[in-house]
Amino acid sequence: MWGGRFAAGPASIMREINASIPFDKRLWQQDIAGSKAHVAMLAQQGIVDGEDAQAITEGLNRIAAEYEADGVPVDLDLEDIHMVTESRLAQLIGPTAGRLHTARSRNDQVATDFRLWVRDAIDEVAAGLLGLQRALLARAEEHADAVMPGFTHLQSAQPVTLGHHLMAYYEMVRRDRSRFADARARADECPLGAAALAGTGFPIDRQATAEALGFARPTDNSLDSVSDRDFALDYLMAATQASLHLSRLAEEFIIWASQPFGFVKLPDAYSTGSSIMPQKRNPDAAELVRGHAGRIMGCMTALCVTMKGLPLAYSKDMQDDKPPVFEAHDLLGLSIAAMTGMIETVTFRTDRMRGLAESGFATATDLADWLVREGGIPFREAHHITGRAVAAAEAAGVPLDQLPIATLKDIDARIDDRVYAVLTVDASVASRTSHGGTAPAQVRARIAQAKKELDS
């Protein structure tokens, strides 16, 4: 491959450190597609003879069939997927194979292959996230009016509905899908034809290769074309955000499955037991999703650090761009599948949720709001009065709606029997009718809207 420039071959350690074929063999489909588009353009432009182009294309098709059947052979001497394929092509069709690399470099070749791969990866993730959204919608609709405690600081705050809680994660995933869509749009430019860094003197048609590979347009600067890895970073940053959301949902399930909470029973398919404690049902799938988020964030950081100090154009450091993206993609796919499965099959113990919502003075804000609304009391004063009512209920060992009216009147004479209409958890959630609120009517309206969004 090195031609006549070097008299001796590389040292064994150089051979090992320089080769990327152990991981970039994953790009073989994209590499074959890029080569076929390139040679078709060369023939169209009269740069390569038509018969030679046909022989190259047929050879590439045969190689693709071999890779599909037997995998890509790993030969460290050939360094990467590009040279492994070109070497095999030469074995099949002879010296004509050398014409394939006319007017291109491995620099623009790998940039094109990697963009194609990331674009396909985004499509896979988007499909997985769509499935998760549908699972969240289905369970949210099922439990649109199931009361549970809403938390701040992991302390009981105000009652909400389980449907509303699940829809919060729907909104997170909706934003995740939009980030991947934005990343895909920015990646939709084809570097092929930028060659090593400066373009080429051959009369190539970059628009033709871009269209053949399904890109919207060719890139506009040859230096940027071969040195840009923004598309990979965009993917990793979107993956990091998505994994963060999945980790938060996983953490909820871990907490809810614990005996002190008892909000959910995780299915056997997503739980494990203990080697010595037969009573244990461990939320291992959720814990692994939580753990994978850290690894995905690490992948994003790794590529950021690799790219941060590189001058234009290509440097060999960029060979390390693919492993973190491949790792993050695999982990993210597993995490999405695991959380979707758990959402679809988990048993929500809504009786337990309601019981805890009723026991934590979660309707205290409703009492304060009632004092403002019915008594014309400034909210800060109403807040103070409500605090005294909570202290009285706590001392008596009863929820707010079971405090005698006499006790409430001793706290503030402006309180009357009408207050009991707002002190139940059902009344509390039903009153939260503001846009985006937890009232079952609002939750069902958002679910209906979300279904239309997904169907469109």
Residues carrying an active site annotation: 153, 274
Look at residue 264 and give its three-state secondary structure: strand
How far apart CA 20 and CA 209 sit, in angstroms, is 25
Which helix (H) or strand (E) segment holds residue 84: the answer is helix 81-93
CA distance 278 to 162: 31
CA dist., res. 273 & res. 442, Å (int): 40
Closest among 95, 151, 116 to 36, alpha carbons compared: 116
Euclidean distance between CA atoms 49 and 431, whole angstroms: 76
Buried b or exposed e, range 226-250, using 16+ CB within 10 angstroms: bbbbebbbbbbbbbbbbbebbbebb
- Between CA 200 and CA 209 the distance in angstroms is 15
Which residue matches tokens 């113990």?
Answer: 349
Inter-CA distances, 418 with 15, 405, 432, Å:
83, 10, 18
Are 97 and 56 in contact by the 8 Å Cβ rule? The answer is yes
What are the residues facing 347 on neighbouring strands?
265
Cα distance between residue 68 and residue 70, in whole Å: 6
Determine the 3-state secondary structure of 160 from DSSP. strand
**Which DSSP state fits 269?**
G
Q: What 8-state DSSP symbol labels residue 348? A: E
Please count the other Cβ atoms lying within 10 Å of the Cβ belonging to residue 133.
24
The one-letter code for the residue type at 103 is A
User: Is the sign of the CA dihedral 197, 202, 206, 207 positive or negative?
Assistant: positive
Question: How far is it, in rounded angstroms, from Cα 385 to Cα 370?
Answer: 11
